[in-house]
Amino acid sequence: MKIVYWGLLFLIICQFSYAQNDASRLSGSLEANGNFFMEDSLRKAYGTPQYDHQLYGAEAWLQLNYSNWGFDVGLRFDLYNNSNLPNPQGSDSGVGIGRWYIKKSIHKLGISAGYLYDQIGSGIIFRAYEARSLFIDNALYGLRLTYDLTDDWRLKVFTGQQKRVIFSENPIFDTYPSIINGGSIDGFFTGDEDSKWSMAPGFGVINRTLDDETMNGLVSNIAATYHVNDSIGLKYNVYAFSLYNTLTFGKFSWYVEGAYKTAEQYFDPDALKTRKDMPSETTSGKLVFNDGSVLYTSLSYANKGFGVTVEAKRTERFKLKTDPNAPLNNGAIGFIPPMSRVNTYRLTARYQPATQELGEWAFQGDFTYAPNRKLRFNVNVSHIRGLNNPTYDYTLLRDTALFYNEIYTEVTYKIKRKWQFIGGVQFQQYNQDLYEVKPGAPIVETVTPYIDVLYKFDRKKSLRIEAQFMDTQQDYGSWLFGLAAFAIAPHWTFTVSDMYNINPNPGKIEIPEDKNGKKLKLHYPRFDIFYAFKGNRFSLSYVKQVDGIICTGGICRYEPAFSGIKLTVNSTF
C-alpha cells in the first residue's frame, strides 16, 4: 500500500504543478523483461523453479523524474516476479520503490537526498551505480552536498548506507548496516585563452564504519574457528584515499589515479587457514588483515585519423566492501576499471576477464588508424597477469600466473553508402581456472575470425550478416556463429542467428552424448523481432542460449543456459 501512496502523491504533485506551471517537466523511462521458460535438458536449461513449474518470470523498472521550482524529484518502481535475475538458480519475487531522490540547488550549494548514484575519480574508492543485467544496484541511501568553490572547483561530501535487496521481507529494499561517508574535491584549470593544456585534478576520501553486530560476528568467527597462527586484529573503520588528474595537452590526454586503502580485515578465498580441530591440515579461505593499493593510468593521443590509447593498472589487495560477509559482487563500495576490450560479437565476447581485486597487473593498448572516411584499422591488445609478489605465502595461481591475453584486430571498409564490411581476428588466452573457479582447467586458447557485412538496399531497407568461428580445443570446443538481421527503417528489425558447437570438446562432461558416446553438436538458435516507434522499443525473441559468464565493466557473473521466449519493452518519455 505504501507504494500506492507514494505513487499517487507523486502523480498528484506532478498533475497539479503541471497545470499551474509551464516550467515543470515530467520524464521517465520503462524497462521491462518478461521470460517464458521452456525446459530443455539437453542444453542444461532445467532444474530451476522457473523451468520446473513457474514457467514465467519478469523484471521491470519504471523511473519517473519531475523538475519544477528548482527541485528535481524522482521515483522508481521496481518489480521482480519469479525472477532469476537476483539468483540465476533461484526464483525471487517482490515489488517496491527501488529508488527515490530529491535534488535542490541553492546558489552554490547542491543538496541531494535519497538513493544516490555517484563516484569519486574513476570509481576505484567509491562508485554507487546500477547494472541491471548483473543485478548490481549499490546506490548510497543518504545525503550528498556539493559546493562550487569557484566555477572550476567543486567540493562534495556524502554520508549514508549502501542499498541492498531482501526478498524475504516487505518492503524488499533495505540497507547494509555499516555507514559509508566521504568526499572529494575536483577542479579544472588551464592557461590563457591560447593555451593548449588543461588539468582536472581531484582528491577523494572514503570511510566505512562497521556496525557492532557485524563486528561481533567477526570476533566470534575468529574466536571459534581460527587457529592462533591465523588470528588477526579487527577494525571498525577503513579509509581509502584517491588522488587523480587528467592532463590534456594538445592532442594528448593523460589520466592517472593512485588509490590507497588502510589495513582492514577482508575475506581472501585463496589464503590458507589452519584447521582449529586438526592443526596439521589447512583449508582455503580466511579473513586477512592488509592494506591495499591501485595505480591506474591511461594515455591517449588522437590526430587526423590516428588514435592510440595505452593503459596500465596495478591492483594489490584492494577489496573494499560495506560488509565482509557479502558474497560475490554484493556490497562492493568501489569499482576498479577493467583492462580488456568490451567485445560485442557473440563469440568474441564469450570469454571476458573479471577484475581481480586481490592482485593483478594489467595492460591494454588500442590503436586506430583511419586514412580516409571509407577505411579504418583497429588493433587492441590486453595483457593481465599476477603480481609476482614473493611475499605471498600461498597459491601460485594468483602470484605469477597468466590471467588473460588478447589481441583483437578489426578492419572497417565502407563502399559508398551501400556497403559496410567489418572483419578481423581475435586471439585469446583465458585463465578459466582463475576466472570461473575451475581448478585444473587449462588455459582456454581461442582464435576467432569474424566478419560483419551490412548492405543497404535503399534508405529504408538493409541487411546485415555476421559470421564468426571460434577455434579452440578447451572448454566446450569450437563454435560457429551466424546472424542475419533485416531492417525496415524506422520501425522493424528481424534477426535470426545460431550458435553451433561445431567441434565439441570430447573431454567436456557437460556436453551430452549420443548413444554411441559421441559428443552431440548442439545448435543454439535465436529469432528476434524488434519494433521501435518514437520512444518505445519492443522485442520478442525465441532463444536457446548456452550457459556462460556475462560481464559489465570487469564485473562478471555466471549466466545459466536459457530456453524459451523473451519479451522486452523499453520506453523513454
Partner 1 sequence: MPVIPCLSCDTEEPPPPIPQDRKVLIEEFTGVRCVNCPAGSAEIESLLFNYGEQLIAISIHAGFYANPYPESQYDFSTPEGDNLENFLGIPIGYPTSVINRKLFSTESDLQLEGTISWAGHIAQEVLIEPKINIEIENEWDSNTRKLTINIAGETVEPIDEKVRLTIFIIESGIKDTQLTPSGKDNDYVHKHVLRKAITAYNGDEVASSLDVWDLIDEEYSYTIPSGWDADNCVVVAFFHNGSTNKEILQAAEKHVTP
Query: Three cell numbers at 355?
Result: 577484475
Site residues for partner 1, window 293-312 (CB under 8 A)? none
Q: Which of 21, 170, 216, 237 binds partner 1 (CB under 8 A)?
A: 216
Which is nearer to partner 1, 250 or 439 (by Cβ)?
439
Q: Which of 151, 192, 194, 281 binds partner 1 (CB under 8 A)?
A: 281
Sorted by sequence, the CB contacts under 8 Å of residue 491 that are 6+ apart come out as 531, 532, 533
Q: What are phi and psi of 8, to 5 degrees?
A: -65, -45
Which is nearer to partner 1, 191 or 285 (by Cβ)?
285
238 binds partner 1 (CB under 8 A): no
Tell me which stretch binds partner 1 (CB under 8 A): 18-26, 45-53, 289-297, 377-385: 45-53
- The mark string for 495-524 relative to partner 1 (x by CB under 8 A, - otherwise) is --------------x---------------
Distance between CA atoms of residues 173 and 60, nearest Å: 15
438 binds partner 1 (CB under 8 A): yes
170 binds partner 1 (CB under 8 A): no
278 binds partner 1 (CB under 8 A): yes
* Amino acid identity, position 456: K
214 binds partner 1 (CB under 8 A): yes
Torsion angle (degrees, nearest 10) of CA 484, 488, 492, 498: 0
Which is nearer to partner 1, 213 or 393 (by Cβ)?
213
In the chain the first and final C-alpha atoms are separated, in Å, by: 26
Please compute Rg for the chain using Cα positions: 26
Q: Which of 93, 105, 181, 221 binds partner 1 (CB under 8 A)?
A: 221
Tell me which stretch binds partner 1 (CB under 8 A): 123-131, 283-291, 304-312, 487-495: 283-291
Strand-strand pairing, 154-165 and 140-148: antiparallel
Site residues for partner 1, window 55-94 (CB under 8 A)? 86-87, 89-91
Which is nearer to partner 1, 286 or 383 (by Cβ)?
286
Q: What is the number of other CB atoms lying within 10 angstroms of the CB of residue 462?
A: 18
Q: Which of 42, 218, 247, 310 binds partner 1 (CB under 8 A)?
A: 218
Sorted by sequence, the CB contacts under 8 Å of residue 510 that are 6+ apart come out as 44, 476
User: What count of residues does the chain have?
Assistant: 573
Query: Three cell numbers at 61?
Result: 523498472
In 152-251, DSSP assigns E strands to 154-165, 173-175, 179-186, 189-190, 197-209, 237-249
Sorted by sequence, the CB contacts under 8 Å of residue 528 that are 6+ apart come out as 493, 494, 495, 496, 539, 540, 541
Q: How far is the CB of 60 from partner 1 (least distance, A)?
A: 21
Distance between CA atoms of residues 528 and 545, nearest Å: 13
Give the binding-site size for partner 1 (rule: CB under 8 A).
50
Q: How far is the CB of 270 from partner 1 (least distance, A)?
A: 8
324 binds partner 1 (CB under 8 A): yes
Q: What is the number of other CB atoms lying within 10 angstroms of the CB of residue 66?
A: 20
Q: Which of 31, 130, 211, 471 binds partner 1 (CB under 8 A)?
A: 211
Q: How far is the CB of 46 from partner 1 (least distance, A)?
A: 10
- Residue numbers of the site for partner 1 (CB under 8 A)? 47-49, 86-87, 89-91, 164-168, 174, 177, 211, 213-214, 216-225, 267, 269, 273, 275-278, 281, 283-285, 287, 323-325, 327-328, 437-440, 509
